[in-house]
Amino acid sequence: EDQVTQSPEALRLQEGESSSLNCSYTVSGLRGLFWYRQDPGKGPEFLFTLYSAGEEKEKERLKATLTKKESFLHITAPKPEDSATYLCAARYNNNDMRFGAGTRLTVKP
């Protein structure tokens, strides 16, 4: 069965303290790797799509990268408003969309 695993489960940072979130996935049949942000009581909000190893995408303080077996979401100089749960998802050849359990990020001022 296709698997998507995120780590850590929770991460607490001080404002300005950069870090990375990890997403590992089943490699076979991957058609795309997605990152979403989810705020409490809301639906996930699309951030990035990555297709091939070596690809990188950036948006404000966030940068997503993809290797052959994992993806990273780098957060540079985070602010309290970056606090949220970040979800990774993988889409496979059979159109199966698998989400990881998420990393709950808290940024303290």
Residues that bind another protein (CB under 8 A): 31-32, 34, 36, 41-46, 49, 51, 87, 89, 91, 94-102
C-alpha 48/C-alpha 39 separation (Å) is: 16
The encoded tokens of residue 107 equal 């940024």
| Shortest Å, Cβ 17 to another protein | 27
Query: In this complex, which beta carbon is closest to another protein, that of residue 3 or of residue 106?
Result: 3
Q: How far is the CB of 87 from another protein (least distance, A)?
A: 7
Residue nearer to another protein on the CB measure, 35 or 78: 35
What is the length of the chain? 109
Query: What is the sign, positive or negative, of the torsion defined by CA atoms of 44, 48, 54, 59?
Result: negative
